[in-house]
Homo-oligomer: A and B are copies of this chain.
Amino acid sequence: MQSQLRKQLIDAFTNNKDEFLSGQYLADLIGCSRTAVWKHMEELRKEGFELEAIRKKGYRIVKTPENITADEIRFGLKTKFLGQSIHYEESVESTQKIAHRLAYDQAAEGTVVVAEEQVAGRGRMDRVWHSPKYTGVWMSIILRPNIPIPKAPQLTLLAAVAVVQAIEEVTTVTPQIKWPNDILINGKKVTGILTELQAEADRINSVIIGIGINVNQQMEDYPEELRTIATSLSIESGKRINRADLIRSAFNRLEHLYELYLEKGFLPIKLLWESYAISIGKMITARTLSGSIRGRALGITEDGVLKIEDTEGIVHQVYSADIELE
A residues adjacent to B (C-beta < 8 A): 97, 100-101, 104, 124-125, 149-150, 152-153, 155-156, 180, 194-203, 205, 319-320
Interface CB pairs A-B, < 8 A, 24: A97-B104, A100-B100, A100-B198, A124-B200, A125-B200, A125-B203, A149-B150, A149-B152, A152-B201, A152-B202, A153-B201, A153-B202, A155-B201, A156-B201, A180-B201, A194-B200, A195-B200, A195-B201, A196-B199, A196-B200, A197-B197, A197-B200, A202-B319, A202-B320
* Interface SS of A by simple majority: mixed
Residues of B near A100 (CB, < 8 A) are 100, 104, 198
The 3 closest A-B pairs by CB, nearest first: A202-B320, A195-B201, A153-B201
Residues of B near A319 (CB, < 8 A) are 202
Residue of B nearest to A93 (CB): B105
Residues of B near A97 (CB, < 8 A) are 104
The smallest beta-carbon distance between A108 and chain B, in angstroms, is: 15
Task: Determine the distance from Cα of A155 to Cα of B202 in the docked complex, in whole angstroms.
Answer: 11
Residues of B near A195 (CB, < 8 A) are 200-201
Residues of B near A198 (CB, < 8 A) are 100, 196-198
Task: Determine the distance from Cα of A202 to Cα of B100 in the docked complex, in whole angstroms.
Answer: 17
- With A195-B201, A199-B199 already in contact, 10 other A-B pairs whose C-beta atoms are closer than 8 Å: A100-B198, A101-B101, A153-B201, A153-B202, A196-B200, A196-B201, A196-B205, A197-B198, A197-B199, A202-B320
Task: Determine the distance from Cα of A194 to Cα of B201 in the docked complex, in whole angstroms.
Answer: 8
Task: Determine the distance from Cα of A76 to Cα of B116 in the docked complex, in whole angstroms.
Answer: 50
Residues of B near A200 (CB, < 8 A) are 124-125, 194-197
